[in-house]
């Protein structure tokens, strides 16, 4: 009898435990999300600040860099072209600090995403239901490889270097890594600050610089009805088909943000055309991307 009672108790306990586990599994099903990914496209149309197709100005040189990573500072969905900046559904704003004096993006908390990588996701339940035709993204940082040319002891070399480019409105940087070299800054840097690293003939060199104010291209095709502040990097793009968010969405939705890198690295030419030759006087003028095309997948 004693063994029978013990057997019944164990059986009841196991049954209860199973029911608890079943309930727990049901309650912890992953929630549907809105997911954003980057795609870097050197063949996408090259746009100016107003969203018009444009070429490289006379006296300038440009090339399409090989992108490594990029980060975003601000993400907003806008229902139409009349929606003013901040008037849509603001999904994300990166951490900001006053450590360097003025308000600035905290680079130490930046999410760096490669081509095809997720740079932001949010539960669909936290996105306002509606139909959205436009996407605004404030880009903050980009890291890419470029080709350049220099002459040493009368011999001309073609080389590759890496650029770390800060294109947010203002960024507080403790330190950052260009490729293999880490540089300490501990200060705010305005839009257009950059670091460059290259190893040639066994010697690694690193330099830093600042593009002129207002020189960074920030395409906004709806600038006439929905302008952006000067010095920001809020790039605006129209969805290929409207993004529809339902209040009862149960499956993930992905937005692939195709970024035009078409000749996005631009310099003032002081030497041979078509080649970036910093030692011969070529100076960086523009590191802004050349438009975005958000695709709903």
For 131-148, the pLDDT digits (tens) are 999 999 999 999 999 999
Residue 61's pLDDT is what?
95
Give the model confidence (pLDDT) of 180-205 as tens digits: 999 999 999 999 999 999 998 889 99
Give the model confidence (pLDDT) of 212-248 as tens digits: 898 999 999 999 999 999 888 999 999 999 999 998 8
Could you tell me which residue, 97 or 152, shows the higher pLDDT? 97
What's the average model confidence in pLDDT over 108-121?
Answer: 97
* 274 confidence band (pLDDT: 50, 70, 90): confident
Q: Above 70 in pLDDT, residue 1?
A: no
Give the model confidence (pLDDT) of 69-109 as tens digits: 999 999 999 999 999 999 999 999 999 999 999 999 999 99
* 23 confidence band (pLDDT: 50, 70, 90): very low
Average pLDDT score, the chain? 90
Residues 7/1, Cβ–Cβ less than 8 Å: no
* 152 confidence band (pLDDT: 50, 70, 90): confident
Residue 231's pLDDT is what?
85
Residue 292's pLDDT is what?
98
Q: Above 60 in pLDDT, residue 126?
A: yes
What's the average model confidence in pLDDT over 290-295?
Answer: 98
Return the number of other C-beta atoms located less than 10 Å from residue 9's C-beta.
Answer: 10
């Amino acid at each position: 009898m004693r063994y029978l009672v013990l057997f019944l108790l164990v059986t009841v306990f196991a049954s209860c435990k199973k029911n608890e586990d079943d309930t727990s599994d049901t309650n912890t099903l992953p929630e549907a999300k809105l997911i954003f990914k980057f795609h870097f496209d050197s063949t996408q149309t090259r746009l100016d600040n107003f969203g018009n197709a444009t070429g490289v100005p006379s006296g300038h040189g440009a090339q399409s860099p090989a992108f490594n990573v990029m980060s975003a500072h601000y993400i907003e969905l806008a229902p139409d072209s009349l929606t003013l900046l901040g008037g849509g559904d603001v999904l994300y704003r990166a951490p900001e600090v006053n450590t360097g004096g003025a308000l600035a993006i905290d680079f130490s908390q930046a999410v760096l995403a490669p081509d095809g990588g997720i740079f932001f996701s949010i539960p669909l339940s936290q996105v306002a239901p509606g139909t959205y035709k436009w996407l605004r993204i404030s880009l903050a940082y980009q890291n890419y490889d470029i080709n350049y040319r220099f002459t040493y002891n009368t011999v001309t070399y073609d080389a590759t270097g890496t650029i770390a480019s800060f294109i947010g409105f203002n960024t507080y940087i403790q330190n950052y890594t260009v490729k293999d070299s880490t540089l300490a800054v501990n200060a705010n840097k305005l839009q257009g600050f950059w670091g460059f690293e290259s190893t040639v003939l066994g010697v690694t060199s690193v330099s830093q610089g600042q593009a002129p104010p207002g020189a960074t291209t920030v395409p906004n095709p709806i600038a006439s009805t929905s302008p952006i502040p000067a010095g920001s990097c809020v790039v605006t793009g129209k969805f290929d088909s409207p993004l529809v968010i339902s209040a009862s969405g149960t499956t993930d939705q992905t937005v692939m943000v195709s970024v035009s890198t078409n000749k996005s690295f631009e310099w003032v030419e002081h030497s041979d055309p078509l080649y970036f030759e910093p030692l011969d006087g070529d100076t960086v003028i523009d590191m802004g991307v050349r438009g975005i095309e958000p695709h709903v997948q």
